[in-house]
Every structure is written in structure tokens, then in C-alpha cells.
A and B are shown apart, each in its own frame.
Chain A
Amino acid sequence: MKIWFQIAADTVGTAADAASTNPITRLLVNFHVDTERFVAQVLAILIVFVALWLFASKPILKTMDERRKKISDGLEYAEEMKQKLAEAEKRQAEMLKEAALEAKRISEDAQAKARELVDRSAAETARRNEEMVARTREALELERKQMVSEVREQVSRLVAITSSKVLQRELSAEEKSRFANASLKEIAQQ
């Protein structure tokens, strides 16, 4: 180390002599820049620089990296969340749409059912009317049949009574005797 200082001092000395007429040398002399001290200062600065770089800048850089990473992570996360929010909103919109469609379907179903009900009840009313008409017709037909049957009965009776009276009067004693004897023969053959 001493050798290097010596070499540096020699170089600066040589240089000082050459620079006494040199403007730079004049500048250095004017500003009291001591060559030896300068080198030592430069060395000291270098040492400080190296020490800082080793012990300070690395952690700082590391910290800065970490911060940067955190920030970028945070940004990424925010981005992701934004995306998810967008998706959720999209899904919600879809669900709402579906629900609305479902509601519409239900309402259409209900309307169709209501229409069906109205149609059915109209058909039912028509059917009932028809039934009533048919029943009335049946009742009338029944009455007619009953009347015909009653009349038939009356006429039969009338015919029977008339016939018996007529026959009693009109048949001669001979005919009656013949019938009586014939009937006995018929009974005997039974």
C-alpha cells in the first residue's frame, strides 16, 4: 500500500512540476489541492464507497426489490380482482337474465294454463248445456213412451172388455157348447 502511495506521490510530484506552468496545476495550487491528501481522500472515498456498496446498497437494493415485487404483486392482485369482479358481475347479469327468463316462462305458463282453464270451462259449459238439452230430450221421450204405454194399456183393457161382452152376447149356445167340449179335448191332450 505504501508503495502505491509512493508511486502516486511521485506521479503527482512529477505532474506538479510539469503543471506549474500548466493551468490545471495553477488551479490545483489555487484551491490548495494537496496531492497526497487527495489520493488519500480518493482512497477513503473508495473505501467508503465499497463499504456502502457492500453493507448498505445491497440491503437497500434488496429492500427496494422486495418493495418493487410487492408493488407488482399488489398490482397483479388488483388486476386479478378486477377481472374476478368483472366475471362476477357478468355471472350476476347472466343469473338475473336467467331469472327474468324463468319468470317470463312461468308467467307464460300461467297465462297458457289460464287460457286452457278458460277454454276448458267454456267447453265444460257447452258440454253441460248439451247435456241439459239431451236430458230434456230424454225426459220428453220418456214421457211420450210412458203415455204411449198407458194408452196401450187402456186400449188393451177396453178391447178385452168389449170383446168379452161381445162374445158373450154373440156366441150361440151351440157354439159355446162346442167350444166347451173342444177345450176339454185339448186339456186331455196336454
Chain B
Amino acid sequence: MSSIIETIENEIRNLETAVRKENIGHIISIADGVARIEGLSDVMYNEMIEFPGGIIGQALNLNEGEVGSVVFGDISGLKEGDEVKTTGRLFSVPVGMCLLGRVVDALGNPIDGKGPVEAKEFFPVEKIAPGIIPRRSVNQPVQTGIMSIDSMIPIGRGQRELIIGDRATGKTTIAIDTIINQARINDEGIASGDPEFRPLYSIYVAVGQKNANVARTIRTLEQADAMKYTIIVSAPAADNPANQYIAPFSGAAMGEWFMSKGKDALIVYDDLSKQAVAYRQISLILKRPAGREAFPGDVFYLHSRLLERAARLNEENGGGSLTALPIIETQAGDISAYIPTNVISITDGQIFLETDLFNQGIRPAIAVGLSVSRVGSSAQTKALKKVAGQIKLQLAQFRELAAFAQFGSDLDPKTKAQLDRGSRIVELFKQPALKPFSMEVEVGIVWAMQNDFFDDIPLDQITRAKLSLQDHLQGRGSSVLESIKKKKELTDDIATALRKTVEEWKQTWSND
């Protein structure tokens, strides 16, 4: 009790000048999360505005004699004539390690019932992205744990890789698998005590999603023990559009804190299509001119300034990185619509998920022909690069020849071999959700495929064979996996040991 009195006494002592200057305004109208305010002559663009009841807004429209502001929070208590004040600050959110394991809203307020966030620093949600000079090229991998991505569409730290597809094609699952795999790698790396190890922290921004989906995601991450490395920023569908618009920026600010401290972070925006729709709603209410599909003219800038903040910095600037995995939902597979084409042109590659593949049982339903990573193999470990170098080409050849597959008996042996290999690779890359592979196991399995160990296994047994090989590698071949993990490349010795282990497994394998 005495400490409470002391705190208040200190507060009184530390009060500065008795005069406080404010710039005020009055609400003219308020509707749909947007307030029109008269006054506020000193307000700056994007400045934080204080409404009665501690509600915060952001000045977005500075007109002659009138200011248009989005209101974050519950507007039901506000009315015409209410006095509002400028704060002299840009809208900022709490940042720091204290946010890990927490679920916060778009303003950084905790909503998980675990008490206040003891943040010491606040970063502005709107910030200019790093320029050209502070950056360096991407060459550290982000292991998603999904074999098809890690081998053919590798992602690097500091890259922006778009995940695009129709509804219910597994976009969120890819992102969650990546977060879970990174948490596992973090645990192993920290336990090993390696001073060179750099953990990758994750931020998951849920925009416009159902509360039930967000709750399910949180539970999944908790069960996989990944929450301790993750921040969840939630602006569900029930939130007002201003919160849905600002949530990705808040997440980016939190990610930038990690980057500025020389650490690595991964941010998933799920999804940006809903943010664009929320921004469209705000812009229409603010009476900004509507363009194509009724989106405002600066919807490209909305996404480009957000995604440009993901970067890899050079050593002079800390060496940190922010990797972005934006998610876009298409309608009927149309990737040539307005928002998808915008975001495809901004990002460094895309992972395209197709409904047809999903329905055929190929999950993850990645359309390898349409997916690309512009960073490519510079973001792959040497071991994976060596074994997976030819896979994309083999699959491309397989797809070309697939039309002839019905004439199975009339083909020359070489074509038949290509078809067989291709269909086996497709089967090999099927992977259940929430079961990411470690890099070493991926190397082992892909190596076995490329060295013909799966050629005599029937197609319907490939999955079982893959799991059996995984068990064997993790059991009897654990020393080989350990060497691959440590050296990250496939030296001759390791290759020999791997061959011995796989041959051992093959001897015990039976097709029945």
C-alpha cells in the first residue's frame, strides 16, 4: 500500500508544466467506424486522435475545415458534438519480446486474458521501409517442413512469398506448418547451445477471420508448443474495418522490432484480400474516389508499403530479417484479378494452391508449374540443393507426358521411366497437415527417390514406404541425420553412410 502512495507522490512531483496545450475538434458525424470531425486544425496525416472514453482513431482525410478519421474500437459510445483531441503522436503499438506467446488485437491490447503487456518500446504502425543500401541479399533458408516447398520453391529469410489459392485449399495450413516447424528448430537450436544459431520468431496476423478459426489456430500452436515463439495479432470479422485495415501494419511494426534488434522474424498475413476489402469500405465511407472493382486508387500502395517492410538487413544495420508470407484468396482460381495481380507483382514469388489438386488428394495442393520462388536455391541448404536440383524439371517433364499416360503399354522405356518417376515424386510429396519434416529427413527421402530406391515400390505403397524410411532414418540412421544437420551438405562420407542406411532399410522393406 505504501508503494502505491509513493508512486502517486512521485507522479505529482514529476508533473511538468502546469499548462497543457491541446488541439481539439468536435464530431460532426460518425458512422461505420469513420468519424467526421470539425476543428483539429493542427492534426497531421496518420496522427493518433483521442476520442472520449479512451478510444483511439487515426486521421486519414485532411479536408478543408474537416478531418476524416477511422475509429479503432467500439464507436457505440460516441456521438455528434463529442470533443476529440490530437495526441501529437503517430499511431504506435507495443513491441518487444514480452509479446511472444500473447494474443493481441490490432492496437496491441492483449485479448488473451493474461494481463497487460509490459512493453517498454512502441513502434509506429506506419513506417518507411528500409532503403536499398541497408539491405543485403537473401541466403538463409526458412524451413517450412513441407517437402515440396523446401525442395522446389525454397523460401529465404527476408523474402516475401505469396500463398495464393481459392478458399479451403490449405493456405493457412502451410503457414501454420511453417510456424510449427520453426518452433521445433528453435527448440533444438537453443537446446544445442550453438552460439551461431539464430531463432526465427513468428507473427500470425489474422484479418477478417472467424473467431472460431483463430481460436483453433491458437490451440494448434499451443499443442505443438509453438506459441512461445509466436505473436498472434487478431482482427476478426466481427471487428470494425479500421481494425482489420490496421492489423497487418501493427504486425509489421512488431516484426520490425525483431529486425531492428538483429533478430529474425516471420510474419504471416492471413489474409490480405480481407484487408483490401476493409480498406475499400473505409475509403468509400471517407468518400475517396473509387477505381477498379470499387477499390480506392492507392490499394496497390496499401500492400506495397506493407510488404516492402519485409527485408534482410546488412551487418551494419544489425543483420536482422523479416520474412513475409502474405496470403491472398482468389475466386474460382482467378489469379489475374485485381488484388492477386497486384500482390503477385510485389512479392518475390508465389505458392499457388489449386482446388483440383486438393480434390484429387494431392495435399499440399501446390501447382508446381505456376509456383515460383524468385530467391530460388540461394535460400536452400547445400544438401537439399544437391538432391532436389532435378526434381522440378522431372515433374515438369512428367506433366508434359502425363497426357500419354493412358497409352501405358505403347510407350518407349525412357518415357515410361519418366512417367513412373514423376508419379512417384507426386506421391512422395503428399504430406498430412501439421506434420512438418526436418531438413535432414527431407534430404534423406529425396536422395532415396533420386537414387532409384523407390522405383520398384508400387505407387500406392509410396506413402507407407516414405514413412517407413523416415522411421528408419530417425532410428537406425540418426547419426547420418545428425551429420547432415550439422554440416548442412552432402559430403562423400555422408552420402556413403546415407546409402548404407537406405540400403539397409530397403532390405527390410516389403511391398505387402
Contacts and interface: CB of A to CB of B under 8 A. Distances in A.
Interface stretch (A11-19, A35-43, A144-152, A169-177): A144-152
Contacts of A156: 8, 11
Interface stretch (A50-58, A59-67, A182-190): A182-190
A151 B115 contact: no
Interface size class of B (residues with CB under 8 A): 10 to 19
Interface in A111-147: 113, 142, 145-146
Contacts of B21: 190
B292 interface: no
A159 B8 CA distance: 9
Nearest to B4: A152
Majority secondary structure of chain A interface residues (helix, strand, loop or mixed): helix
Contacts of B11: 156
B18 interface: yes
Contacts of B475: 109, 113
A132 to B, nearest CB: 14
A155 interface: yes
A148 B115 CA distance: 12
A187 B115 contact: no
Nearest to B11: A156
Nearest to A182: B18
Nearest to A149: B116
B339 to A, nearest CB: 41
Interface in B444-479: 475-476
B467 to A, nearest CB: 17
A151 B3 CA distance: 11
A27 B320 CA distance: 138
Contacts of A151: 1, 4
Interface size class of A (residues with CB under 8 A): 10 to 19
Interface in B199-257: none
Interface in B1-45: 1, 4-5, 7-8, 11, 17-19, 21
B18 A186 contact: yes
B7 to A, nearest CB: 7
A190 B19 contact: yes
Given A109-B476, A142-B114, A142-B115, A155 B19 contact: no
Nearest to A163: B12
Interface in A58-94: none
A146 B118 CA distance: 12
A155 B8 contact: yes
Given A142-B115, A145-B115, A183 B19 contact: yes
Interface pairs A-B: 5 shortest CB-CB: A142-B115, A152-B4, A186-B19, A155-B4, A156-B8
12 contacts: A113-B475, A142-B115, A145-B115, A145-B116, A148-B4, A149-B116, A151-B4, A152-B8, A155-B8, A156-B11, A186-B19, A187-B19
Interface of A: 109, 113, 142, 145-146, 148-149, 151-152, 155-156, 159, 183, 186-187, 190
Given A155-B5, A155-B8, 19 more contacts: A142-B114, A142-B115, A145-B115, A145-B116, A146-B116, A149-B116, A151-B1, A151-B4, A152-B4, A152-B7, A152-B8, A155-B4, A156-B11, A159-B8, A183-B19, A186-B17, A186-B18, A186-B19, A187-B19
